[in-house]
């Protein structure tokens, strides 16, 4: 064991003590991880991490992700002690209403928090996306000796993180891509909430698994005390640029606690007032709660001056870069501000009324047109680009070593794909998209939810949107998915009626930067509809007005059922029934409109309403009312040609005509 400088040890113990004090005051939290992981966290932050507490958004900072988000007080202690705008009052308000120190870290709330973590495994996969972003941006922007992108991504991961399947998907992808600037610090304490990891994790050699993924794996035997060994391992990891690295650090959960160290009782509950005092005594920490020696605080606050110096030096470099490459500098600023280039949508196609393509095909054409003018629009699919039509033509495959290429081949790894896209958004500078079959959005849902919670804006292309998938059968036919996703706050799900609505939905998605968007697109061809209005960005609009503007009934439809509503409108008109057709490509956006607009589209005095959508009817009665009829599919699908399945399950113009007659009786 290397000798530990007394001041360094005091800094480590300051992190430990502050963390357990906050958990104890809140009477809620996880004290064990901060006690055990403080040495690795201090060593990383004090000796290696390039960051600037006064400039937490400095673009070329190293990224640090606490994937083990339950140990959030470790991160909050680091932020407070190194000089971020996280004052002591916020530490003392840990886990309280309206504080900057919630139970698990939240991006956009607390300065210095790089990702919203908590669900285990997410942060580890986010870090993979961040490392991918760094590689792509370095390749695109660094020019002629002018380097403005050159940083590492670190994640502190736990036993629980590495049990989750998402971490395996992400690590496999990172190893394949050879992301040499990605480093995990593995807090291997052999304890989870229910007890020793031997209960569930006894037969697995994690180091061998990561080596098999293509990672460098380094070992630190005494992570509780040996700062020099941790330091040397991190330095060795940074020196290896041809593959990602894991530093496997053996620690004791709850280190220093005389009665709880090394046990599950230190994991998810406060130590108790008496045990806090005993722990501090065993650590040689003789200071009041929330107090630390001035020399210790001064040492940790050295990060402020160091960070200001690094950030100022980068600003100087960027000034020279702007002089040498003004167009790229403008791109950089647009990409990092959520802006768009001039004429970004100039080449987006439109389609004439008549026969049209499947919206997945139209979506691919729109995406390629947008990508030509938005260089930082990048993404990929879960081994389905031939079907989703999302390949960016002529733009190459992403190479994790060089950063070249804009098509990311995620393989059959939907969960990691969505989390990596989140990581790119957290990192900044890229606008990522993903693609897979709509039914497989179930594998992405946890990451999609976190994107919505964190106000990230990836675009998820979900094709093969209904039972119209056909012969593949019910395993591949989404039924409940539309409504299941619509209930996620701040997620906007578009199901366009035709190619033109698809183009408009894509443009709406890219003009905002605070919400994830789902593009739910058809496998089958859909006609291009004549429209009296077009207002996709408001969620719903009057697509075809009733004769004389005075509807007897309203039919509301989405996606591939909108053209059926138009057919039914024509059939009903021949019988003297005037029907307004409303296209509702994004239910959540329509719900956010003011009452005046909603009443304009769906007048309260027209209570004869019918909705049709090839999915569950749950939720539709908000729009059709108690006296309306919601046509849908409240069962699983079937294996047969898509048109036949839709017909058999009632997705027809005739069914709409019958329903309208019923509501008018």
Tens of pLDDT, residues 613-646: 999 999 999 999 999 999 999 999 999 999 999 9
Determine the Cα–Cα distance for residues 19 and 315; give it in Å rounded to an integer. 34
pLDDT at 612: 98
Asked whether the predicted pLDDT for residue 2 surpasses 60, the reply is: no
217 DSSP β-pair partners: 246
pLDDT at 50: 98
pLDDT at 3: 52
pTM for the whole structure? 0.98
Check if the beta carbon of residue 645 is closer than 8 Å to that of residue 637. Answer: yes
Geometric angle at alpha carbon 155, from 154 and 156, rounded to 5°: 130
Q: What is the mean pLDDT of residues 472-485?
A: 98
Residue 31, CA distances (Å) to 37, 127, 166, 257, 274 in order = 10, 24, 25, 10, 14
342: annotated active-site residue: no
pLDDT-above-70 percentage for the chain: 100
Using the 8-state DSSP alphabet, how is residue 62 labeled?
Answer: P
359-521 — its CATH code?
A: 3.40.50.970
pLDDT at 4: 77
pLDDT in tens, 111-131: 999 999 999 999 999 999 999
Determine the Cα–Cα distance for residues 600 and 548; give it in Å rounded to an integer. 15
Domain residue ranges in the chain: 6-307, 359-521, 536-664
Alpha helices (H) along 533-639: 562-573, 587-592, 595-601, 621-624
Q: Is 5 helix (H, G, I), strand (E, B) or coil?
A: coil
Asked whether the predicted pLDDT for residue 1 surpasses 60, the reply is: no
Q: Which of 508, 361, 518 minimizes the C-alpha distance to 440? A: 518
- The alpha carbons of the chain give a radius of gyration, in whole angstroms, of 28
Asked whether the predicted pLDDT for residue 243 surpasses 80, the reply is: yes
User: Hey, do 6-307 and 359-521 end up sharing a CATH topology, with the first three levels equal?
Assistant: yes
Alpha helices (H) along 147-226: 159-163, 165-177, 206-213
Q: Which of 602, 538, 60, 532 minimizes the C-alpha distance to 310? A: 60
Per-residue burial over 620-639, b if 16 or more Cβ lie within 10 Å, else e, is beebbbeebbbbbbeeebee
Asked whether the predicted pLDDT for residue 283 surpasses 70, the reply is: yes
pLDDT at 203: 87
Of 114, 169, 264, 414, the catalytic one is 414
Check if the beta carbon of residue 62 is closer than 8 Å to that of residue 154. Answer: yes
H or E element in which residue 486 lies: helix 481-486
Record: fold of 536-664: Rossmann fold (3.40.50)
Q: What is the mean pLDDT of residues 43-65?
A: 98
pLDDT in tens, 421-468: 999 999 999 999 999 999 999 999 999 999 999 999 999 999 999 999
6-307 — its CATH code?
A: 3.40.50.970
């Amino acid at each position: 064991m290397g000798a530990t400088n007394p001041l360094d040890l005091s800094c480590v113990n300051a992190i430990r003590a502050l963390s357990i004090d906050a958990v104890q005051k809140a009477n809620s939290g996880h004290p064990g991880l901060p006690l055990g992981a403080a040495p690795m966290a201090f060593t990383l932050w004090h000796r290696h991490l390039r960051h600037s507490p006064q400039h937490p958004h400095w673009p070329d900072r190293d990224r640090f992700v606490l994937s083990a988000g339950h140990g959030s007080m470790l991160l909050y202690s680091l932020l407070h002690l190194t000089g971020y705008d996280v004052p002591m009052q916020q530490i003392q308000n840990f886990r309280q209403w309206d504080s900057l120190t919630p139970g698990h870290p939240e991006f956009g709330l607390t300065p210095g928090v790089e990702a919203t973590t908590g669900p285990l495994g997410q942060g580890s996969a986010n870090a993979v996306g961040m490392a991918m972003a760094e590689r792509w941006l370095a390749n695109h922007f660094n020019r002629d000796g002018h380097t403005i992108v050159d940083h590492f991504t670190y994640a502190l991961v736990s036993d629980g993180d590495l049990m989750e399947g998402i971490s395996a998907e992400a690590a496999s992808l990172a190893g394949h891509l050879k992301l040499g600037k990605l480093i995990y610090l593995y807090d291997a304490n052999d304890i989870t909430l229910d007890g020793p990891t031997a209960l569930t994790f006894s037969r697995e050699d994690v180091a061998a698994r990561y080596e098999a993924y293509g990672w460098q794996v380094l070992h630190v035997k005494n992570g509780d005390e040996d700062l020099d060994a941790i330091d040397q391992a991190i330095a060795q990891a940074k020196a290896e640029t041809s593959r990602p690295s894991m530093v496997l650090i053996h620690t004791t959960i709850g280190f220093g606690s005389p009665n709880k160290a090394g046990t599950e009782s230190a994991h998810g509950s406060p130590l108790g007032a008496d045990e806090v005092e005993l722990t501090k005594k065993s650590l040689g920490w003789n200071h009041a709660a929330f107090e630390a020696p001035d020399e210790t605080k001064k040492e940790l606050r050295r990060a402020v001056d160091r960070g200001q110096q690094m950030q100022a030096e980068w600003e100087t470099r960027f000034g020279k870069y702007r002089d040498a490459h003004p167009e790229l500098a403008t791109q950089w600023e647009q990409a990092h501000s959520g802006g768009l280039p001039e004429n970004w949508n100039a080449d987006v196609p439109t389609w004439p009324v008549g026969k049209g393509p499947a919206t997945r095909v139209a979506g691919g054409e729109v995406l390629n047109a947008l990508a030509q003018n938005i260089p930082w629009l990048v993404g990929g699919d879960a081994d389905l680009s031939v079907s989703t039509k999302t390949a960016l033509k002529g733009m190459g495959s992403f190479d994790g070593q060089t950063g070249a290429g804009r098509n990311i081949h995620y393989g059959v790894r939907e969960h990691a794909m969505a989390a990596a896209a989140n990581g790119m958004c957290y990192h900044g500078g890229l606008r990522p998209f993903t693609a897979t079959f709509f039914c497989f959005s179930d594998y992405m849902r946890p990451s999609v939810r976190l994107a919505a919670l964190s106000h990230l804006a990836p675009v998820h292309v979900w094709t093969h949107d209904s039972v119209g998938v056909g012969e593949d059968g019910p395993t591949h036919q989404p039924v409940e998915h539309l409504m299941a996703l619509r209930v996620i706050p701040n997620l906007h799900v578009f199901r366009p009626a035709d190619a033109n609505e698809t183009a408009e939905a894509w443009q709406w998605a890219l003009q905002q930067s605070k919400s994830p968007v789902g593009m739910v697109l058809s496998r089958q061809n859909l006609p291009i509809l004549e429209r009296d209005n077009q207002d996709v960005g408001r969620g719903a609009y009057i697509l075809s007005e009733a004769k004389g503007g005075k509807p007897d009934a309203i039919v509301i439809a989405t996606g591939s059922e909108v053209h059926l509503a138009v057919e039914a409108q024509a059939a009903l008109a021949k019988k003297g029934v005037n029907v307004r057709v409303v296209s509702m490509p994004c239910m959540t956006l329509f719900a956010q409109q003011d009452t005046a607009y909603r009443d304009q589209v769906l007048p309260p005095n027209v209570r004869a309403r019918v909705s049709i959508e090839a999915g569950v009817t749950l939720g539709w009665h908000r729009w059709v009312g108690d006296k309306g009829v919601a046509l849908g599919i409240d069962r699983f699908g079937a294996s047969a040609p898509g048109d036949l399945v839709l017909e058999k399950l009632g997705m027809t113009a005739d069914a709409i005509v019958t329903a309208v007659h019923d509501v008018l009786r």
